[in-house]
Structure 1
Amino acid sequence: MTQPPQDSHELLFSNIGFLLGKTNQIKDRFLDQYLVEEEITSGQVKVLFRLYLSNNQRSSDISKALGVDGGAMTRMLDRLEKKHFIQRIADPDDRRSVLIQLTDTGQVVTSRALPLAQAAINNLTECLTTEEKQNLLHCLSKIVSSSLSEECHLSNKKDEKC
């Protein structure tokens, strides 16, 4: 078996894709630690935040926005419903569809989770200067904007997200 070159560690840590993925993992671990008192996970809080900002969404829309497959989203929604944080309601515009909305309990938990999530992100970025944080925010925003534009172009969509 061939041994990897000595500088493979350096190559890995200079790879943007690896670093973005690793940073996302670390961010989720921090979120999990900060949110333990609310008994929710980083994945669950993302769903709650999505509903907090825009209530009454279809699970497929939440799934697409968060990049989670449909089956995993259904299981996550089941857990959130069991905790009484969300409820499924009939879509008045489409009888075949179900909308997801926060319950009063879900609203309260999400309100308490917002500062906890911000504290986790502050912990994640405390090693950066203010200028470095601004530069990182600018670069990541540029990547996301470019990718969203490309997705819209490739899918030929004309909706409000595009």
Structure 2
Amino acid sequence: MLTDLFLQMPGHYIRRAQQVSSAYFTEELADSELTSVQMVALVAIVDSPGIDATRLSEIIDFDRATIGGVVDRLERKGLIQRVVNPEDKRSKVMRATPAGKALLDVSLPRVQRVQERILAPLSPEDRETFLRLIKTVIGRQTD
């Protein structure tokens, strides 16, 4: 049966894991009104004041063609500001606003709870194995 075949495919389980992760994120951070991509982008901007959109997309592994929409939404929400790059007037760089930093301070413990919930079914050893394997699958160097 084709259903049985598809239920054995890793892509199916990756999709389901993403659904679980998204549901936990929504439950824990609904009042932040941020998506997980917006959250990681805000983290990167706080960590790297003066970053440009190209570098941001590289750091967070997000498509360069669509990072502009993420940045636009963060700016509209008053969480970041874009200013002309003092080193290259043709480009803009980003900095988190005080509101963005405050939201991040409140949100980081919640983001940590999301991670704990995702890994909760696994033993400590399995958690390490899972993280090592998922990094390998996506082409990231393991620690």
TM over 0.5, shorter chain: yes
Instruction: Tell me how far apart the structure 2 counterparts of residues 89 and 25 of structure 1 sit (CA, whole Å).
Output: 36
Instruction: Tell me how far 1:148 sits from its aligned partner.
Output: 5.1
The structure-2 alpha-carbon separation of the partners of 1:148 and 1:11, relative to structure 1 and needing over 3 Å to count, comes to same
More displaced, 119-128 or 134-143?
Answer: 134-143
RMSD: 2.1
Matches within 5 A, 1:21-60: 21-60=15-54
Instruction: Tell me how far 1:69 sits from its aligned partner.
Output: 4.7
2:61 is equivalent to residue 66 of structure 1:
yes
Instruction: Tell me how far 1:116 sits from its aligned partner.
Output: 0.6
Q: Which residue of 2 aligns with 1:12?
A: 6
TM-score (normalizing by structure 1)? 0.74
Q: Which residue of 1 aligns with 2:135?
A: 141
Q: Which residue of 2 aligns with 1:153?
A: none
1:52-103: per-residue Cα shift (whole Å, max 9, x none)?
Answer: 2323221122234332352x32222222112210000111111111111111
Aligned-residue identity in percent: 22
Instruction: Tell me how far 1:142 sits from its aligned partner.
Output: 3.3
Matched to 2:47, the amino acid is L
Instruction: Tell me how far apart the structure 2 counterparts of residues 124 and 22 of structure 1 sit (CA, whole Å).
Output: 12
Instruction: Tell me how far apart the structure 2 counterparts of residues 93 and 148 of structure 1 sit (CA, whole Å).
Output: 31
Q: In structure 1, list runs of 5 or more residues that go unmatched.
A: 150-162
Q: In structure 2, list runs of 5 or more residues that go unmatched.
A: none
Q: Is the 8 A contact 1:35 1:42 kept in 2?
A: no
TM-score (normalizing by structure 2)? 0.83
Look at both structures and tell me which one has the larger radius of gyration over its CA atoms. Answer: 1
